[in-house]
Amino acid sequence: LELSDELFEEQKTAEQKDQKLRETLLEMVHKHRLLGVTDMVWNHTAYNSDWLRDHPEAGFNLENSPHLRSAYELDAALVKFSRNLTDYGLDRMVNTVEDVDRLLKAVDEHVVQPLRLWEFYVIDVDAAVEAVRGAWDIATETVAAEDQSALERLSGDARSEWLRAYIIGSHSNALGTRFGRTIDPARTAAVLRLLAHDDRDLAMTQLRELLDLLNLTYYREYDADVKAIRNNIGERVKYERLDRGSWKFGKPVDSSFQIVDPLFTTVEARTEGVPDDRLHLANNGWIWGGNPLDNFAGPESKAYLQRAVIVWGDCVKLNYGTCPQDNPWLWEHMRQYTLRMARVFHGFRIDNCHSTPIELAEYLLDEARKINPNMYVIAELFTGSEDTDRVFVQRLGINSLIREAMQAWDSHEMSRLAHRHGGRPIGSLAVDCLGEPGVFIDDEHGAARIDAVVAPLSGSLPHAVFFDCTHDNEVPAQKRTAEDALPNAAIVAMTACASGSNRGYDELYPELLNVVHERRHYAELKDPLSVGLGEAKAKLNRLHAEIAQYQEVHVHHETEYVTIHRVHPVTREGVLMVAHCAFRGAPSESHFDSPKLYGTAVTPEFAYRLRPEAGGHVPVDDGVLHGLPSQLEHLAAPSIHQHRDDRGMFTELRLPENFGPGSVLVVRTRLVDFKPNLDWKIRTCADEATARLTLGALNAVLYR
């Protein structure tokens, strides 16, 4: 275990690198008041990890996972096909759907059919008959009485199905070697004696008929899987070759840009004599709509064969099993890695938590908390199910879940996410008005009795770290418009939860970086606040920290506008933000009803509009990453007008001119003549004052 040399400018020993890491983290804490959280990758490792050469059993290989052999042979054939594409009369450029169709036809003709993959599915009839013929003479097996009764009672398809299950016995039905599926010769011979009345020739004839029926089911299974293979390859090729956002767009099909990314990595053993099957390791990835609790590399899954895995070609999936005894070296290796990180960092971000064996994550976090009990744990957890999320959060003690603003497809969904990820309604009675005087007994300090307010514990969603954009998301310029970077960031900053961002977002990078293949360097910015939306983002970040205790929230959506009002539950001071979203295809002008804030004074804070240059493009590639050229325009403060109607005095907020898509404004709000200690005064002696009131009378006192 050693920190990578790529992280340091000069060559250092392992001890020097560890020391430099500790010094940097201490400087972050004491000089910049920043805590360090590190990415913990337990589910996979880099394909070029040196220790894989000594411990290939740490991955899913063809020796410990023979069910992957058919998937590996298909994968290897696709790699060869990509390399020799012109030998089959095909153009290396794929530009149209018709090109994809021609490619798929060639894959079927030159890859799938020659592989004879059906041999992995069916039973070798001749070999099975000979095995049963040999067992016939030995006659060591008999049919139990209850099985004989079932055989006599059943008929037709039900009887055939019973027979198929009986002759297979305990043999695994998972794919393995060619003709790896078989039957139990002794059990089969025993049941055929009953059916054929000890006539061996008749029994062998019946067996062939039974095996043909059994293989018919297996051939249908094969046909369905080949259909899935074709479909998954086709959809992947269409995305990678025809979608401008893909890193393979406009690239030829060759060894560097294969028809599909390989699902397996072959490592080079450090010693001689290591079987090849031990060195072919399954790469990691994910499955669209898959159950995160299922092991898609396990024997019950055919995801690799069906090419359903959206693969990360630079990562090898690790094979832990379910307990340390299943792979002792790997569990201990990862324990040591985890302990080293827990000693220096303040928190963990669990990468790919949804695909990490939950038993492993539970074990490693328990070990880490032994030396760092106050560790902050964030998880990249995308299960698609709140119930499944809850299982991970409860078992692993996760503090926060990563959530992504760029998943929103329109302004309405954006407002829903902002509402979902934190806060309680303005004026809520959920906490403050339900508390009662009580006593807290502190067992850690001699059972000391401490006066406290005891409030009911109400259920809530797991706490979120809401990112305006992560390293996995397409940037606003790709998925929406470049202008939307500002309103998107403002909505995230106003949400009552933790927030996060990614390098390049504020600079308006034009596209998602491919972290595997990107070779350019980040630009050194002399004045970061003058680039992109830097100045506005800095103010939004400071505001986000300032209003952390403003836990009451109101979110309003209207056409392309999202309004968020955060209010302090005691002082009633608030911050209101209006964002004009800029989703692609949305109208440039949308109706907006001016907010009316009753009994409220309003003070403008700031207003901006992001204007990318028309037809703006990134400068010529000079080896440095650049954002889109843009201007952050200061807008005039909103006009504030005070009026009165039958409900009383109110303040009307009118948007400034040019508040078009890509604009945000922030104002502060304050209830006029409000006294923060009013809540305490009302509650003083409230029990005595209301003790004799009926529910109807209490309703009149409170609301009429």
* Cβ atoms within 10 Å of 520's Cβ, excluding its own: 12
Residue 527 falls in the annotated catalytic set: no
Let me know: does 487 contact 562? Beta carbons within 8 Å: yes
Of 506, 524, 504, which is closest to residue 514 (Cα–Cα)? Answer: 504
Residues pairing with 653 in the sheet: 640
- Own/partner pairs for 88-91, CB < 8 Å, 24+ apart? 90/253
Helix intervals (H) in 327-410: 328-344, 358-371, 386-396
| Radius of gyration, CA atoms only, the chain | 33
DSSP strand E in 446-567: where? 448-454, 464-467, 498-500, 552-558, 561-567
3-state SS, residue 593: coil
The one catalytic residue in 110, 354, 421, 544 is 354
The one catalytic residue in 54, 108, 254, 472 is 472
Strand order in the sheet with 596-598: 596-598, 648-654, 639-645
Let me know: does 396 contact 379? Beta carbons within 8 Å: yes
| Structure tokens that stand for 110 in this block | 């030159």
Let me know: does 37 contact 376? Beta carbons within 8 Å: yes
The one catalytic residue in 351, 410, 412, 556 is 351
Q: State the burial class of residue 18 (Cβ atoms within 10 Å of its Cβ: 0-12, 13-18, 19+).
A: middle
Let me know: does 492 contact 419? Beta carbons within 8 Å: no
Q: State the burial class of residue 306 (Cβ atoms within 10 Å of its Cβ: 0-12, 13-18, 19+).
A: buried
Let me know: does 154 contact 179? Beta carbons within 8 Å: no
Q: What torsion do the CA atoms of 511, 512, 516, 517 make, to the nearest 10 degrees?
A: -10
Rounded distance between C-alpha atoms, residue 362 and residue 392, angstroms: 9
In degrees and rounded to multiples of 5, residue 285 shows phi and psi of 175, -150
Rounded distance between C-alpha atoms, residue 492 and residue 304, angstroms: 38
Let me know: does 175 contact 72? Beta carbons within 8 Å: no
Three-class SS of 241-277: HHCCCCCCCCCCCCCCCCCCCCCEEECCCCCCCCCHH
Let me know: does 583 contact 411? Beta carbons within 8 Å: yes
Residue 351 falls in the annotated catalytic set: yes
* Cβ atoms within 10 Å of 384's Cβ, excluding its own: 11
CA-CA distances (angstroms) from residue 165 to 127, 184, 211? 19, 10, 12
Residue 54 falls in the annotated catalytic set: no
* Cβ atoms within 10 Å of 602's Cβ, excluding its own: 20
Sign of the CA dihedral with 298 first, then 300, 302, and 308 last: negative
Which residues touch 164 (CB under 8 Å, ≥6 apart)? 210, 213, 214, 217
Of 358, 350, 626, which is closest to residue 513 (Cα–Cα)? Answer: 626
Rounded distance between C-alpha atoms, residue 131 and residue 185, angstroms: 6
Which residues touch 685 (CB under 8 Å, ≥6 apart)? none
Residues taking part in catalysis:
351, 354, 472
